[in-house]
């Protein structure tokens, strides 16, 4: 058998981030939205270095013979990553300096640097520095024999004095606005970086010394939380103790101004104890993620996306009992197109309804000011039994999740956490209600988090159902979370790590069998990421058998279309647009009686084998048709969809069909839906 090929996860992810960069270049997007895409690209890349590159560094420490046996090649991969990142950063710089800055100027917004300041502006900045900025600026001294500590992702100037001494001066962008609006001038609005405000004043900070040069730098640190496998305390306690270590983790990237002389770079590298592979040239400024809040002093609506306010759900937004509506038939919500209110109202009604006896919910990321969590506290006050599973290992939300865990537990909730071996990634809610002397279960299963803020950005789907088959099996899942049973017994739900992989394999095998016996066979899947090689192999097998496979994968994708036999029947696209595509939809033709599932799991090994995930079948015909239509709109996008092909060129899909920008088409479809 010909060797099967796979895309490397990290290199494929960089290709996805390249699609984000394309949106910054795409002048079909309004100016300020292009600026935001630059910010998203920058933020993504920072996290990539803190997490993925850090892991590659850890692999490098594994004994060479073991790496060879496992076919791990971290050094080669790191070199390829650096090559791709450098090319992307060059493109980033060109987009920013040659397109964004001139277009801002055309629209009356002048992003000016220190050398552009007029005398009047310099005086204005000096006053601002003395009154508001100076008190937040820190000088990190360099002491012989000691490595100076730079905070993770914080901005500094590396200052060199005429006598050869050095120090670091902080740029407190986490305490002050990164961008400073200066006084308007003849219809133009000058804006400058906080960096340049401090840069102008650096010579005055060191009046007794001669400043020779200074350049901006930023150090990213390992974001992993490390704990002992034999730790005998509570998982939440250990994570809390580990959080403090994240800020002092191993350096993963030192970004420096590319204009910095080599002598200064070597001095900097030695001071911080870094290797050459840790050093990355960048532009004059870093942390472009701050451009998410770049000011628009003109308040020009043409520079932003047209408003698409979330729509009221046609059924669930009515002033009726949601339990009554859901008991009649299943209901589905689509975010960010629909308002998040039905989810909150469902819980609020449960918290106050005398007939409701218990509420069980799994929370992966909890907003700091979560109205949903407040509603759970209200339910406790009203005497409801509340069981909350809070995932303490949700990266970058650990501290917030633990805070809410304490509050809920203090007020009487049963609070559970995962152990070291497995995460709980499912987005599930189960409410039990006494109706005519019987206990009736109501379920909500979603592809996205219980988070109102992200529901305005992330494209997700959530199913409300009182279907006894689904609700009874979901009850078993919660019993697993409560440590009351080892595994759920399910015929309908797909539950990782117990049945998801096996049942997906069987669903693909059915299509393979149908194709081999001459029946029509096809698969349509939308997911965030596709990495698991066993599932990819099964897709290759299906494609070689003649199954038509259509994939929509937002992020990294391990399918390599250099597998010529498989490539004939596999088409892959990716959509990066105004909203973050986050939903997972799995559709199988099944001899004309199609099956469809939605839920929290991608086809990644961790989602199939090392996390508790829940996917639900879609039984209701109306819901099925609605989801199928939405999936079809996404699969036929010819405005913001890119081909994921063997060249990884991120070519936009182009055809003679009527333009279909799927996110706008979905909004229009739901807006017109009675």
Q: Is 611 annotated as a binding residue?
A: no
- Asked if residue 278 and residue 248 are part of one domain, the reply reads yes
Give the containing element (helix H, strand E) for 243.
Answer: helix 235-246
- Asked if residue 264 and residue 133 are part of one domain, the reply reads yes
More confident residue, 185 or 202: 202
Q: Is 1 a domain residue? A: no
Q: Is 441 a domain residue? A: yes
% of the chain at pLDDT higher than 90: 72
What is the distance between the alpha carbons of residues 92 and 97, in angstroms, rounded to a whole number? 9
Catalytic residue among 286, 334, 417, 425: 425
* 580 backbone dihedrals φ, ψ, rounded to 5°: -85, 115
- Asked if residue 502 and residue 483 are part of one domain, the reply reads no
pLDDT in tens, 537-596: 999 999 999 999 999 999 999 999 887 778 899 999 999 999 999 999 999 999 999 999
pLDDT of residue 406: 85
Given a contact cutoff of 8 angstroms between Cβ atoms, the answer to whether 241 and 179 are in contact is: no
- Asked if residue 297 and residue 163 are part of one domain, the reply reads yes
pLDDT in tens, 63-82: 455 444 445 566 788 888 88
Q: Is 210 a domain residue? A: yes
Residue whose pair of structure tokens reads 């250099």 in the numeric block: 562
Q: Is 395 annotated as a binding residue?
A: yes
Which of 276, 303, 330 corresponds to the end of one domain? 303
Q: Is 312 a domain residue? A: no
Confidence of residue 58 (pLDDT cuts 50, 70, 90): low
Confidence of residue 397 (pLDDT cuts 50, 70, 90): low
Q: Is 554 annotated as a binding residue?
A: yes
Average pLDDT of the segment spanning 8-32: 95
C-alpha 296 chain-centroid distance: 26
- Asked if residue 117 and residue 199 are part of one domain, the reply reads yes
Peptide bond into 647 cis (omega under 30): no
Sequence-distant (≥ 6) Cβ neighbours of residue 114 within 8 angstroms: 192, 196, 199, 200
Which residues are 151's β-sheet partners?
none
Of 603, 599, 574, give the one whose Cα is nearest residue 585. Answer: 599
Sequence-distant (≥ 6) Cβ neighbours of residue 85 within 8 angstroms: 14, 45, 280
pLDDT of residue 57: 64
Task: Give me the CATH number covering residue 590.
Answer: 3.30.870.10
Q: Is 226 annotated as a binding residue?
A: no
Structure tokens at 643: 């081909």
- Asked if residue 446 and residue 380 are part of one domain, the reply reads yes
pTM of the entire predicted model: 0.89
Of 664, 665, 504, give the one whose Cα is nearest residue 597. Answer: 504
Which of 487, 516, 532 corresponds to the end of one domain? 487
pLDDT in tens, 312-359: 999 998 778 999 999 999 999 999 999 999 999 999 999 999 999 999
Given a contact cutoff of 8 angstroms between Cβ atoms, the answer to whether 536 and 525 are in contact is: no
- Asked if residue 656 and residue 609 are part of one domain, the reply reads yes
> Of the ranges 105-109, 231-235, 399-403, 488-492, which one carries the lowest mean pLDDT score?
231-235
Report DSSP state, residue 489: -
The residue range of the domain holding 124 is: 9-303
Give the containing element (helix H, strand E) for 662.
Answer: helix 662-672
Q: Indicate if 425 belongs to the active site.
A: yes
* 3 state SS of 483: coil
Count of domains observed in the chain: 3
Write out the DSSP string of 297-350.
TT--GGGSPPP-PPBPPTTTTSSS-HHHHHHHS-EEEEETTB-SHHHHHHHHHH
Structure tokens at 109: 């917004």
Q: Is 315 a domain residue? A: no
- Asked if residue 539 and residue 453 are part of one domain, the reply reads no
Structure tokens at 237: 């306690």
Given a contact cutoff of 8 angstroms between Cβ atoms, the answer to whether 144 and 199 are in contact is: no
What is the distance between the alpha carbons of residues 193 and 448, in angstroms, rounded to a whole number? 36
Of 237, 272, 241, 234, give the one whose Cα is nearest residue 255. Answer: 272
- Say yes or no to pLDDT of 610 above 80: yes
Q: Is 417 annotated as a binding residue?
A: no
pLDDT of residue 641: 97
* 364 backbone dihedrals φ, ψ, rounded to 5°: -100, -45
Q: Is 562 a domain residue? A: yes
Task: Give me the CATH number covering residue 144.
Answer: 3.30.1840.10
pLDDT in tens, 194-245: 999 999 999 999 988 999 999 999 988 765 544 444 444 454 454 444 444 4
Q: Is 308 a domain residue? A: no
How far lies 260's CA from each of 92, 189, 265, in Å? 19, 31, 7
More confident residue, 274 or 446: 446
pLDDT of residue 2: 54
Residue whose pair of structure tokens reads 């986050």 in the numeric block: 582
Q: What is the pairing mode between strands 211-221 and 251-257? A: antiparallel
pLDDT of residue 244: 47
Which of 445, 467, 487 corresponds to the end of one domain? 487
Given a contact cutoff of 8 angstroms between Cβ atoms, the answer to whether 38 and 92 are in contact is: yes
- Say yes or no to pLDDT of 628 above 60: yes
- Say yes or no to pLDDT of 400 above 50: yes
- Say yes or no to pLDDT of 421 above 80: no
Q: Is 44 annotated as a binding residue?
A: yes
- Asked if residue 141 and residue 285 are part of one domain, the reply reads yes
Of 58, 60, 16, give the one whose Cα is nearest residue 40. Answer: 16
- Average per-residue pLDDT for the chain: 89
- Say yes or no to pLDDT of 371 above 70: yes
- Say yes or no to pLDDT of 453 above 80: yes
- Say yes or no to pLDDT of 414 above 60: yes
- Asked if residue 402 and residue 381 are part of one domain, the reply reads yes
- Asked if residue 187 and residue 272 are part of one domain, the reply reads yes
- Asked if residue 262 and residue 329 are part of one domain, the reply reads no
Q: Is 169 a domain residue? A: yes
% of the chain at pLDDT higher than 70: 91
């Amino acid at each position: 058998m010909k060797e099967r090929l796979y895309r490397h996860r990290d290199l494929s992810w960089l290709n996805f981030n390249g699609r984000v960069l394309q949106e910054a270049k795409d002048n079909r997007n309004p100016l300020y939205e292009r600026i935001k895409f630059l910010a998203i690209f920058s933020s993504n890349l920072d996290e990539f270095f803190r997490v993925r590159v850090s892991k590659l560094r850890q692999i490098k420490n594994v004994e060479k013979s073991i790496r060879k046996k496992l076919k791990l090649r971290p050094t080669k991969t790191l070199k390829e990553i650096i090559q791709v990142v450098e090319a992307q950063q060059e493109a980033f710089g060109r987009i920013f300096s040659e397109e964004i800055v001139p277009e801002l100027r055309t629209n009356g917004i002048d992003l000016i640097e220190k050398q552009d300041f007029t005398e009047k502006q310099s005086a204005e900045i000096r006053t601002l520095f003395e009154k508001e900025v100076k008190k937040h600026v820190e000088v990190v001294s360099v002491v012989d024999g000691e490595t100076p500590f730079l905070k993770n992702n914080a901005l500094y100037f590396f200052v060199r004095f005429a006598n050869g001494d050095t120090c670091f001066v902080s740029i407190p962008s986490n305490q002050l606005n990164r961008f400073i609006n200066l006084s308007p001038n003849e219809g133009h609005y000058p804006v400058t970086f906080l960096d340049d405000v401090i840069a102008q004043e650096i010579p005055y900070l060191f009046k007794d010394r001669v400043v020779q040069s200074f350049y901006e730098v930023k150090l990213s640190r390992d974001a992993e939380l490390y704990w002992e496998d034999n730790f005998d305390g509570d998982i939440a306690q250990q994570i809390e103790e580990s959080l403090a270590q994240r800020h002092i983790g191993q350096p993963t990237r030192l970004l420096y101004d590319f204009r910095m002389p080599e002598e200064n770079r070597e001095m900097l590298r030695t001071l911080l104890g870094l290797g050459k592979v840790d050093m990355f040239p960048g532009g004059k400024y870093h942390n472009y993620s701050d451009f998410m809040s770049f000011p628009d002093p003109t308040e020009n609506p043409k520079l932003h996306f047209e408003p698409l306010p979330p729509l009221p759900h046609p059924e669930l937004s009515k002033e009726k009992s949601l339990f009554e509506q859901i008991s009649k038939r299943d209901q589905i919500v689509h975010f960010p197109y629909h308002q998040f209110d039905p989810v909150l109202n469902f819980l609020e009604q449960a918290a106050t309804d005398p007939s409701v006896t218990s509420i069980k919910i799994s929370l992966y990321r909890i907003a700091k000011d979560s109205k949903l969590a407040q509603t759970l506290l209200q339910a406790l006050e009203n005497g409801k039994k509340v069981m909350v599973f809070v995932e303490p290992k949700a990266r970058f939300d650990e501290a917030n999740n633990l805070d809410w865990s304490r509050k809920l537990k203090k007020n009487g909730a049963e609070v559970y956490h995962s152990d070291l071996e497995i995460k709980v990634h499912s987005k599930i809610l189960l409410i039990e209600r006494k109706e005519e002397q019987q206990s009736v279960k109501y379920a909500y299963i979603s592809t996205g988090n219980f988070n109102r803020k992200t529901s305005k950005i992330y494209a997700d789907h959530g199913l409300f159902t009182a279907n006894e088959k689904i609700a009874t099996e979901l009850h078993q899942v919660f019993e697993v979370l409560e440590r009351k049973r080892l595994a759920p017994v399910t015929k309908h739900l797909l539950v990782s790590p117990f049945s998801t992989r096996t049942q997906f394999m069987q669903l693909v095998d059915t299509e393979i069998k149908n194709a081999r016996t001459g029946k029509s066979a096809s698969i349509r899947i939308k997911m965030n990421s596709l990495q698991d090689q066993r599932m990819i192999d099964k897709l290759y097998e299906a494609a070689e058998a003649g199954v038509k496979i259509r994939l929509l994968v937002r992020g990294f994708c391990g399918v390599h279309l250099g597998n010529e036999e498989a490539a004939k029947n596999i088409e892959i696209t990716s959509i990066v647009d105004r909203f973050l595509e986050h939903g997972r939809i799995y559709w199988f033709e099944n001899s004309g009686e199609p099956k469809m599932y939605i839920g929290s799991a991608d086809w990644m090994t961790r989602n199939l084998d090392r996390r508790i995930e829940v996917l639900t079948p879609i039984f209701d015909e109306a819901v099925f048709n609605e989801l199928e239509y939405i999936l079809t709109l996404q699969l036929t996008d010819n405005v913001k969809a890119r081909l994921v092909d063997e060249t990884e060129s991120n070519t936009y899909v182009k055809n003679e069909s009527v333009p279909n920008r799927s996110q706008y088409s979905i909004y229009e479809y739901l807006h017109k839906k009675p």
